[in-house]
């Protein structure tokens, strides 16, 4: 998933949004309910760009068919080190229709939850919700 990875590493929110299918489903590491649709997913990812510092992908794995990918990352939120993985599924057009993010350790997930909660009114506004 070269386009998504390059867009994230460049912190280019427009390029990130261009990789998303209109029907994308986003599963957050800190929320039980999935978020459905490109506007809210793109807005959440813009919020993540504001929260994560020194983000870098350190490993990429892909399925034989090329529609499933795992991108392992390291980043930080303030003084909290975060390790995680973006799990991507691509639709027939090569756009991301499923994005699941997992993070570790628990302290990182808690810090992420608090940081994203502080962003959520802005995220909803950005998404047009």
* Residue 84 contacts residue 72 (beta carbons within 8 Å): yes
Per-residue pLDDT of the chain (129 residues; tens, 9 = 90+): 589 999 999 999 999 999 999 999 999 999 889 999 999 999 999 999 999 999 999 999 999 888 999 999 999 999 999 999 999 999 999 999 999 999 999 999 999 999 999 988 999 898 886
What Rg, from alpha-carbon coordinates, does the chain have?
14
Going by their DSSP bridges, the two strands 68-77 and 80-90 should be labelled as antiparallel
CB burial readout 45-68, b (16+ within 10 A) else e: bbbbeebbeebebeeeeeeeeebe
Tokens 């608090």 appear where? 114
Task: Give the domain 2-127 fold.
Answer: Nuclear Transport Factor 2; Chain: A, (3.10.450)
Domains of the chain: which residue ranges?
2-127
Going by their DSSP bridges, the two strands 96-104 and 20-27 should be labelled as parallel
Residue 37 zone, left/alpha/beta (φ > 0; ψ -120 to 50; rest): left
């Amino acid at each position: 998933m070269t386009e998504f990875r390059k867009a994230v590493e460049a912190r280019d929110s427009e390029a990130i949004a261009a990789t998303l299918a209109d029907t994308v489903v986003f599963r957050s590491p800190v929320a039980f309910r999935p978020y459905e649709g490109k506007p809210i997913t793109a807005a959440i990812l813009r919020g993540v760009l504001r929260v994560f510092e020194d983000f870098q992908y350190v490993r990429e794995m892909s399925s034989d068919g090329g529609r499933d990918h795992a991108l392992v990352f390291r980043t930080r939120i303030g003084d909290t080190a975060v390790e995680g993985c973006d799990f991507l599924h691509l639709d027939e057009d090569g756009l991301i229709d499923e994005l699941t993010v997992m993070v570790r350790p628990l302290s990182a997930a808690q810090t992420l939850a608090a940081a994203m909660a502080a962003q959520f009114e802005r995220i909803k506004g950005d998404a047009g919700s």
